[in-house]
Structure formats: structure tokens, C-alpha cells
Chain A
């Protein structure tokens, strides 16, 4: 087992982790380590090839990868250490107040890192489709919108040609446009609630621009097809979200994309024993973004789902400074 000691360990190399690392460094920390399970830094932004990022932070409109790259270049310039393809599996608290971060990667095997402070920046993930409660078989052709985004934008593979999207969150809207641009037919977006969960600008530029209908108060009540999706039944729902009998209609499609919201990724936080907030699904934090375990900070989507990456960066900047201040009062390593 490989062991090392750090002042600040940052879990996750997305926009939150990158901005936190930079501000901790600027605040005087020398021993900072970013742990990222992916093969590159940047987090989910790498697959968000559309524009609209960075208006607050950089005063210009960037695509996701461009926004991430600005931070990656700053982190490299500051010579902050990063371990890629490194998965954190556990965080624990020692009696002397140090934290132990356990991680794994191919080159070093098991890693045990003792650190004064930890910044949680693991981001969020999409709600699993099991939570959707659609009866019937599970034929091929059902994807979460984020998974489809990964296939199309990272691997250049199309999940299907005729698409229905359930859920009108921003990722679903962005994917509706993306699939049309790549030659697919997007039949419609169905939204259970009487209003869209996405930004107005995305309804305009992703649906209206391409004539894709948005059906509010509508859900998928059945999925057809045995091997592969062949179509879905859409049903109107009443104000309590209950299907209205007789309002069903069928829409042929070979692909169903689910865009049903994001949840913070907090297995590690729960494992550490930090107090959780049932409303946000993130840890409870004080005004210093410190959770119930002193010296453990959280920022970005792991804390609560942020609409804008610019807000993530701003929050992470604070978390980095608070972590640096904690390290200073607890005694520096060097």
C-alpha cells in the first residue's frame, strides 16, 4: 500500500474540485492533491459540448470543455498535484482529527492518504430509471439523457433514430436538439409536471427552433417492444399527477431518453458519518461550507444541484479558502 500526507485532499476533478484547488493554493496551501476517477480533469463538462458556460466567470459564452480547460490550465500552471484514474473508496476520521482518504488506481494499487482537510467535490449523477415506475418489459433503447449525451458527444455513437424524451430538465432539452442535429427524429418531450424543469432559453433554442413539441402534465405510461423499444404510450395526468383514463396515445420510437433530474453523489459523505440534508441530498454545511465533521468541506453539485457551473466555481473558490484557513489554524504540514 502506498501512503502519503497532504494538507488538502480534493475528491473530484470537475469544475468544483478545480476551483477549490486553485483557491486553496492561492490562500497559501502547498500540499494539495486532487483525486479524479476519470482519465481526465473537467468532470461532466467534458460531455457538455453546447455553449452557455462562463458568462459570469469569464464574461464570455463558452462550451463546457472550453470552460473546463480554462481551469485545467490554471491548475497545471500552479503545479497542483492530480491523480487521475483514481477512485476514492472511503474517507475516515482519525482520533487526532486527521482524515484518511482511501483510493485505488492501477499503477499504485491501494492508496492511503492522511490529510488535514478534505474537500468533497464529487458532483452529482442522474436519477436511476428504476425510480421511474414504468411498468412492463425493459427492452433495449432506454437511456438516461446524460448517458446518451456521453455516447453522442464523447464517442460519436447514436443511441437511436426516433426518440421520445421523458422529463424536460435541461439535459433532456439539450439532448433533444443534439439528436435532431445528428439526424434523428425527436417526436416529443413529455413532462409530468405542469411546467418545464428546464430553462426558458433551452425550450426556445432546443425545442422551438426545431419544432419539437413539449407536452406538459404528460407521462409515459407504457413502453412497447420486447427486444428493442418500438414505441411508448403517453398519458395526460391530472393535478395530482394521476393518469387521466382515456387520454392515452401511442408514439412510435426506437429510443426513450429519461431526463428526470440529478442527485448529489454522496456515498463517501454518508460513509464518513457526516450529517445529511434530506432536502438537498447533500451534507449539512455551515457558513464556511464545512460539514458536521470539522475540516471536511463540500462544494459544487455534491452539496446541492446547481443550475449554473459559474455558481459552482464561485462556491468552490470559497470552499478552497475555508479549507486553507482550517489548515492554517490546525498547523501546517511544512
Chain B
């Protein structure tokens, strides 16, 4: 019932291309209830998005010794949304030296999130 709800947020699930329209609400007992999701991933996303939104960040870092070359990297898991720009700043100083393989860690604990930055594309030599 409406009087039991303390907060309702409408949002779009970003976990897959379907893009379900979710409604996430904090019930009086503190539990979060998500509706509109077509699969369990949506429920988990809705709860997180309401309480502490997170994102996976993908970017690039420089490759040492090569002109005009960068390689893709990502956060190994999602980080708090407000840490995105701090994460990007930390990546600016990173240079990798080939060879690198997918999954290699290039920076540990980015922006104090406890999450590592890993390479998403291999480079030989």
C-alpha cells in the first residue's frame, strides 16, 4: 500500500538490450521491492540503482613504445557511479608495455574502490 512506501523510483534496467521499465521502492520494513523486471538481473540492478548506483567503466590506456596506440581496459567489476571520473583520472597516467593479455591487471584498487583495472585486448611482442 502506498502509505507504506517511503521512496519509489522509476528507472530503466541497463543490464541487457531489452531495457525493462523498473519501479524500485523501499518498503516500510526497509526491504527494497523491484517490479517490472523480466529477469532476476533486473531485480538486483533495481535495488543497487536505488541504494548505491554502480557502473562498469571501460576506457583505454597508452601502449609504451608505439605511436598512436592505446589498448582497451575495464574495471573488473562495477564501481560506485560517483567514482567514475576519479577512475578515469587514474587511468591517464597508466602505460602498458607489450606483451599484454586479456585480463592482465594494469592498476590495482582504482580510486580506492577495491576494484582492479584489467586489459580487454591482447597485444603481442
Shortest Cβ distance from residue B90 to the other chain A in the assembled complex, whole angstroms: 12
Are B58 and A201 in touch, CB under 8 angstroms?
no
Question: Does A5 interact with chain B (Cβ within 8 Å)?
Answer: no
Contacts of A63 in B (CB 8 A): 58, 72, 74, 120-121
The verdict on A155 contacting B70 (CB below 8 Å), with A63-B58, A181-B59, A201-B17 known, is: yes
Shortest Cβ distance from residue B31 to the other chain A in the assembled complex, whole angstroms: 24
User: Which of B12, B57, B68, B102 is A201 in contact with, Cβ under 8 Å?
Assistant: B12
Question: Does B62 interact with chain A (Cβ within 8 Å)?
Answer: yes
Q: Bound complex: CA of A284 vs CA of B48, how far in Å?
A: 46
Contacts of B17 in A (CB 8 A): 52, 199, 201, 307-308
Are B60 and A49 in touch, CB under 8 angstroms?
yes
Q: Bound complex: CA of A266 vs CA of B69, how far in Å?
A: 30
Q: Bound complex: CA of A50 vs CA of B72, how far in Å?
A: 9
Number of interface residues of A (CB under 8 A): 30
Q: Bound complex: CA of A153 vs CA of B11, how far in Å?
A: 30
* Contact flags B48-62 to A (C-beta < 8 A → 1, else 0): 000000011111101
Are B58 and A50 in touch, CB under 8 angstroms?
yes
Contacts of A152 in B (CB 8 A): 60
Shortest Cβ distance from residue A186 to the other chain B in the assembled complex, whole angstroms: 14
Shortest Cβ distance from residue B9 to the other chain A in the assembled complex, whole angstroms: 13
Are B11 and A204 in touch, CB under 8 angstroms?
yes
* Contact flags B87-125 to A (C-beta < 8 A → 1, else 0): 010000000000000100000000000000000111000
Q: Bound complex: CA of A199 vs CA of B55, how far in Å?
A: 17
Are B12 and A204 in touch, CB under 8 angstroms?
yes
Question: Does A57 interact with chain B (Cβ within 8 Å)?
Answer: no
User: Which of B56, B68, B85, B120 is A155 in contact with, Cβ under 8 Å?
Assistant: B68
The verdict on A200 contacting B121 (CB below 8 Å), with A155-B68, A156-B60 known, is: no
